[in-house]
Amino acid sequence: MKVAVVGATGLVGTVMLKVLEERNFPLTELIPVASEKSVGKLIKFKGKEYPIVSIDTAIGLRPEIAIFSAGGTTSLESAPRFAEVGTTVIDNSSAWRMDPTKKLVVPEVNAHVLTKEDKIIANPNCSTIQMVVALQPLHAKYKIKRVVVSTYQSVTGTGVKAVDQLMNERKGIDGPKAYPYEIDLNVLPHIDVFTDNGYTKEEMKMVKETNKIMGDDTIRVTATTVRIPVMGGHSESVNVEFENDFDLADVRRILEEAPGLIVVDDVANLKYPMPKDAHEKDEVFVGRLRRDESHDKALNMWIVADNLRKGAATNTVQIAEYLVANKLV
């Protein structure tokens, strides 16, 4: 089982390597791939050193699986080349997500759609992943009509440059900027570029990806995505309107029994999910469960997950685990 990690030196790529190691993924050979300037450098994995190679070299080695976190341009150029030699690609960029010929997968929700013929599989947007893990089991019972979500997203979602900007601002150091404004002691209601309808691309990703992953275009979604000066994970305030009335105790039971979810909801003792608690965890945390008192069939909840793990690296590795377990590679 040869596994290539494309973008191995990036913020998400390094977490992917960590998750592969932690979860003891059954690979026999690691092929770390990065840009030409990194070729030849060594990466440590399970106590052994592996040299970084170029994309061309990696394709020549014909790995069974290639995990991509190297940006959309690289994915569009190189994922089909891996697929042509029989490699199954799991891509973390936005390049293939809305391609109708490609599957968009969150294992707890829709891994069953995968087949041996799927040679390029898309990993969804981080903020969408954590939301649908909580929505799917409730949709199965009560049928969701509409979702209103506001996100509170970590600077790690932008990358190293954004983390550096935040820490530099805290120290009073002038340095490279990832954002058009200061992020420390501030919030930016602006993630990705604005589109013609006034929403950002990040907001529209949440709308379209939710429908595709859950396999239901009737679910109406509206989103406001916000960048905040935290690290450790993304948080979301989610209001869900159901077609059918629900029992709050039953909602809690469904979420407690759902795969990949941990309910943290004890307001009497000030227990609720926070980014610090989700940091370096693979699960999605949900709390602040309560009826929307302005609507008979609506629920409010608060969802938190580590955006670099469940929102990116862990979800990708879980897809790979499913492929191996079901002999699809």
288 assigned to a ligand binding site: no
Place of tokens 């862990």: 314
Question: Do 261 and 284 form a contact (C-beta atoms < 8 A)?
Answer: yes
Q: Is 126 a catalytic residue?
A: yes
Q: Choose among 114, 161, 123, 97: nearest CA to 310.
A: 123
307 assigned to a ligand binding site: yes
What type of residue sits at position 155? Answer: V
11 assigned to a ligand binding site: yes
Two tokens, residue 299: 């629920």
Q: Give the DSSP H or E segment for 153.
A: strand 144-153
Place of tokens 């990690």: 5
86 assigned to a ligand binding site: no
24 assigned to a ligand binding site: no
Neighbours of 319 (CB within 10 A): 25
Task: Considering only the C-alpha atoms of the chain, give the largest distance between any 2 of them, rounded to a whole number of Å.
Answer: 61
284 assigned to a ligand binding site: no
The active-site residue, picked from 126, 139, 190, 279, is 126
Two tokens, residue 145: 């009509």
- Cα distances from 175 to residues 26, 36, 121, 180, 263, in angstroms, run 42, 26, 37, 13, 40
Q: Is 234 a catalytic residue?
A: yes
Burial class (CB in 10 A: 0-12, 13-18, 19+), 146: middle
38 assigned to a ligand binding site: yes
97 assigned to a ligand binding site: yes
Q: Choose among 61, 69, 62: nearest CA to 8.
A: 69
10 assigned to a ligand binding site: yes
The active-site residue, picked from 112, 139, 190, 234, is 234
Beta bridge partners of 152: 226, 235
271 assigned to a ligand binding site: no
Half-sphere exposure of 134 (CA within 13 A, CB side): 32
Annotated binding site for NADP(+): 9-12, 37-38, 307
Residues that are catalytic:
126, 234
Annotated binding site for phosphate: 97
Annotated binding site for substrate: 153, 227
